[in-house]
Chain A
Amino acid sequence: MKIKTGLQKTGKVCLLFLFSIFTAFPFVWMVLSALKTKAEIMDVSKFFPAEFQWNNFYEVIFHSPLLKYVWNSLFVSAITLAIQIVTAAMIAYALVFMKFKGRKVLFAIIMGTYMLPTAATYIPSYIILADWNLLNTFTGLIISNCVSIFGIFLLRQAFMQVPMGVIEAARIDGASRWKILWQVVCPMTKSSFITFGLMNFITCYNSYMWPSLITDSDEKLLVSQGLRKFFIEGGAYGTEWPLVMAGSALIVLPLLILFAFTQKWFINGIGGDTGMKG
């Protein structure tokens, strides 16, 4: 019996080890490839670079526009997120704490759009932005993205845990709804706000399809588009793989570091509060 559980444990650890290697490998390979010379990277038998070519990173940081794209993405994501939080919190407040006609219908509509393929809206949305002269602008990107249906769900779920009595007491004290939302409800559901913020910030930072449709001028590219351009440009002369890998690493590593510090908000947040039930 003891041997059996011992064996099971070893098997378990081995299996987890294999999965972890499979998952981490692309990241490790990315960093190792970024530190190789052009000759080394073409030779598969050389797993490690003979000498770390930090110069590749230097090249990408100082001689490519990649940092500019990182800044664009940070800028657009931060503003988008700020607007998303306000709009989602307000409508979630109305859906949970205010009684009005059409509340159920409103929620059903929001729920319906949650599952629809976003891309199906792209052609008409593109036309709208074109009509408003907002193609190729950050404003266009931001306003077309200023509602997060996922965020509305997440906050609604969290707000439902707040006892109605707390709201009523604050109302009797004469607090306005706006004040109640930000000074009473928000602190009580802080963890959902943090999860919302992190998830949507990352989604926005990583987004590719929609931004690549509506922006194309060089100064306006977000990070994923910029990286792809960088990657394709080299293509004509044979891709500069070490530089492309250094560029990818430069974009991926900060996210991994951010995730290392905020892991619990993701894990508790998406596992705990979201989802329909469960």
Chain B
Amino acid sequence: MKKKLTLRKIGSVWLFVIPALIPLIVFWIYPILRSIYISFTDWDYMSPTYQFVFLDNFKALFKDQRFYDALWNTVVFTLGTLIPTIVLGLLLALLLQKSFKGSGLIKFILFSPWITPTVAVSIVWTWIYEPNNGIANAILKFFGLPGLQWIKSSQTAMLAVIIVTVWKSLGYAMIFYLSALEKVPKELYEASGMDGAKSWQRFRDVTIPCISPTTFFLMIITMVNSLQAYDQIQILTQGGPSGSTRTLLYMYYQLGFEEFNMGQATAVAIVLILITVLLSVVQFTGSKKWVHY
């Protein structure tokens, strides 16, 4: 009797777990393991046979200047989007902390880019960045500044892609900070107010530590998103001009789905996974020093 009951219990657990677990295994876990396997081969997708080359793909990658450029671009892009998103997101949340007439509308506007399709808004930005007829250069000229080539020049293309990405994710960070600020216990402010603490000191000693879990969460999320950015790069620059906006992820796409060099492509994917894991571990260990739950 008792055995029958436990069997039924295990059955119902499986029943609830399986509908999510099977797709999770088929489209997430298995592909990652399979990627590792493919990265040790010279498979080109078309031919049915392939050979084991073990670490040759990785060796070739580590000798390829393109890889180092892409790695560098990934670092620049990730930091270039992470820092402004967090700093400006917090600034906006501080400005909007006390609600006033029109603050709802401002929140609506600031958050709206996040929900719109990256492809559509990137197309709009392509038009804004147009060197001859675009509004971006018209505005620069209005202020007496020289126009830029924006996405047409390898000097400024990365900046242009970063601006679009920050524009899109700023509101998201702001919303997280708004709710974090709301949860800062009022007594803490009062306690520090009694000491006659200046507002800057209060911000540094009370607010920043209290919202540190949110900062940490946003750092991880923004980092993961930046490492995976594809849509805006594909529309704005296709990784160009001359590879100046080719991140690791974009390189993976080009190797895999343009050149059909599956071995090399999955090798890049493995490197990307390792970087994500490494950065997460670094952030998690580092967070013990400055994140206060």
Contacts and interface: CB of A to CB of B under 8 A. Distances in A.
A97 B285 CA distance: 31
Given A123-B269, A213-B257, A20 B106 contact: yes
A93 B15 CA distance: 11
A33 B28 CA distance: 42
Interface stretch (B150-158, B186-194, B272-280): B272-280
Contacts of A22: 167
Interface in A204-260: 205-206, 208-209, 213, 223-225, 227-228, 231, 241, 244-245, 248, 251-252, 255-256, 259-260
A223 B117 contact: yes
A113 B13 contact: no
A160 interface: no
Contact of A116 (B123, B172, B216, B273): B273
Interface in A132-168: 143-147, 149, 152
B16 A98 contact: yes
Contacts of B159: none
B87 interface: no
A248 B176 contact: no
* Chain A: number of interface residues, binned into ranges: 35 or more
Contacts of A149: 24, 28
A144 B27 contact: yes
Contact of A119 (B119, B127, B171, B249): B249
B120 A115 contact: no
B95 A15 contact: yes
Given A98-B13, A202-B115, A87 B231 contact: no
B28 A121 contact: yes
Contacts of B115: 202, 206, 255-256, 259, 266
Nearest to B177: A271
A33 B127 contact: yes
Contacts of A187: none
B225 to A, nearest CB: 10
Interface string B102-136: 00001111111101111111011101100001110
Contacts of B167: 22-23, 26
A209 B10 contact: no
Interface residues of B, number: 89
Nearest to B179: A271
A66 B230 CA distance: 22
A29 B107 contact: no
A13 B230 CA distance: 35
Contact of A227 (B10, B13, B26, B120): B120
A43 B228 CA distance: 37
A117 B268 CA distance: 12
7 contacts: A19-B106, A19-B110, A23-B171, A90-B16, A121-B31, A256-B116, A271-B178
Interface of B: 9-10, 12-13, 15-17, 19-21, 23-24, 26-32, 34-35, 38, 88, 92, 95-96, 106-113, 115-121, 123-125, 127-128, 133-135, 137-138, 167, 170-172, 175-176, 178-180, 183, 211, 213-214, 216-217, 220, 224, 227-228, 230-231, 234-235, 249, 252-253, 256-257, 262, 265-266, 269-270, 272-273, 276, 280, 293
Given A244-B127, A275-B176, 16 more contacts: A16-B106, A22-B167, A94-B17, A100-B13, A115-B280, A116-B28, A116-B273, A123-B31, A123-B256, A124-B32, A147-B23, A149-B24, A202-B115, A208-B117, A255-B117, A266-B115
